[in-house]
């Protein structure tokens, strides 16, 4: 399945989303495609309701809760700042800093494309 996510106001389409795909999987695929390290969150907006999704949420399960109105849900990738690793590189040399959490990288989803809007 394909899911549209707005990145800096530009709609991007993430392909290969399945029942098992988590919000974190989508965030990682988009961040890797952008080539910009950092901390990201997937935001869900529906009419006046807005919230940030949890990394472990199954994206299609979340969208299915809206029923026929799921097409009206707008997903956006929010950049929350530099990665833990980037922050550590900027700190003073010689001070002890705990290692960042090790996260195993996940395989990218099958495709990612920018959607072209015609005016």
Q: What is the pLDDT of residue 104?
A: 36
Q: How many Cβ atoms are within 10 Å of 44's Cβ, its own excluded?
A: 19
Q: What is the pLDDT of residue 23?
A: 94
Q: Are 61 and 19 in contact (CB under 8 A)?
A: yes
How far from the centroid of its chain's Cα atoms is residue 32's Cα?
Answer: 10
Q: What is the pLDDT of residue 34?
A: 85
Q: Are 59 and 22 in contact (CB under 8 A)?
A: yes
Q: Are 63 and 72 in contact (CB under 8 A)?
A: no
Whole-angstrom distance, CA of residue 3 vs CA of residue 71: 10
Q: What is the pLDDT of residue 38?
A: 83
In this prediction, the residues of the chain whose per-residue pLDDT falls under 70 are: 83-119
Domain ranges of the chain: 3-114
Which CATH code for domain 3-114? 3.10.20.90
């Amino acid at each position: 399945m394909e899911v549209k996510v707005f990145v800096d106001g530009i709609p991007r389409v993430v392909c290969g989303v399945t029942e098992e795909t988590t919000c974190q999987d989508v965030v990682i695929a988009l961040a890797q495609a952008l080539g910009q390290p950092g901390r990201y969150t997937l935001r869900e907006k529906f009419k006046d309701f807005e919230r940030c999704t949890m990394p472990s949420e199954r994206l299609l399960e979340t969208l299915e809760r809206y029923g026929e109105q799921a097409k009206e849900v707008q997903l956006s990738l929010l950049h929350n700042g530099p990665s833990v690793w980037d922050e550590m590189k900027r700190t003073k040399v010689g001070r002890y800093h705990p290692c960042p959490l090790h996260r195993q990288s996940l395989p990218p989803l099958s495709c990612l494309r920018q959607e072209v809007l015609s005016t």
